[in-house]
């Protein structure tokens, strides 16, 4: 009985911390999802050293593509790399300079939560969440 009580007491603060984090954060803007067809699945634009979409949701084991635009000055390169939950780059895409756009093709991923991030600017404004279900 004593053991059970202690276990519950230890759990309560952790639950409170999670709830507080959830309440404090606003939902990230989702990347534009293109309508079905043969074009790219998503569109992401970088401007002012920030992505315009910070959330992408994709089905498991399904390849996808992102039409990426860099609307910053030509001297400011950006890219989109994918990192796994251990923060390792698992899909590394080349940077493009400002004023250009590219279609990045990504291979399918197992279900999980990943990050997509600019390798030049790994800051919150250029770090999104890729949810694979
Ligand atoms: Cu960047």
- List pLDDT tens digits, range 25-44: 677 899 988 877 778 999 99
Closest CA to 64 of 29, 13, 103, 12: 103
Distance (Å) from CA 93 to ligand 1 centroid: 12
Give this prediction's pTM: 0.79
Q: What is the 121 CA–ligand 1 centroid distance (Å)?
A: 4
- Ligand 1 center to 61 CA (angstroms): 27
Among residues of the chain, what percentage have pLDDT more than 70?
81
Rounded CA gap, 16 and 40, in Å?
40
Domain ranges of the chain: 27-132
The CATH number corresponding to 27-132 among 1.10.10.10, 2.60.40.420, 3.40.605.10, 1.10.1040.10 equals 2.60.40.420
Report phi then psi at 125, rounded to 5: -70, -15
Rounded to the nearest angstrom, the distance between the alpha carbon of 36 and the centre of ligand 1 is 28
Q: Cβ distance 85 to 129 under 8 Å?
A: no
Measuring CA to CA, how many Å separate 128 from each of 2, 15, 115, 116, 122? Answer: 44, 25, 6, 5, 10
- 63-88 pLDDT, tens digit per residue, is 999 999 999 999 999 999 999 999 99
């Amino acid at each position: 009985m004593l053991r059970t009580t202690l276990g519950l007491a230890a759990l309560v603060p952790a639950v409170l911390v999670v709830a507080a984090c959830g309440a404090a954060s606003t939902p990230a803007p989702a990347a534009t999802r293109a309508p079905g067809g043969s074009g790219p699945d998503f569109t992401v634009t970088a401007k002012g050293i920030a992505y315009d979409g910070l959330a992408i949701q994709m089905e498991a084991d399904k390849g996808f593509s992102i039409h990426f635009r860099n609307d910053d000055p030509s001297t400011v390169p950006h890219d989109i790399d994918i990192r796994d939950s251990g923060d390792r780059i698992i899909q590394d895409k080349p940077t493009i300079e400002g004023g250009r756009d590219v279609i990045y093709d990504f291979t399918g991923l197992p279900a999980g939560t990943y990050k997509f991030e600019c390798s030049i600017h790994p800051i919150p404004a250029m770090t999104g969440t890729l949810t694979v279900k």
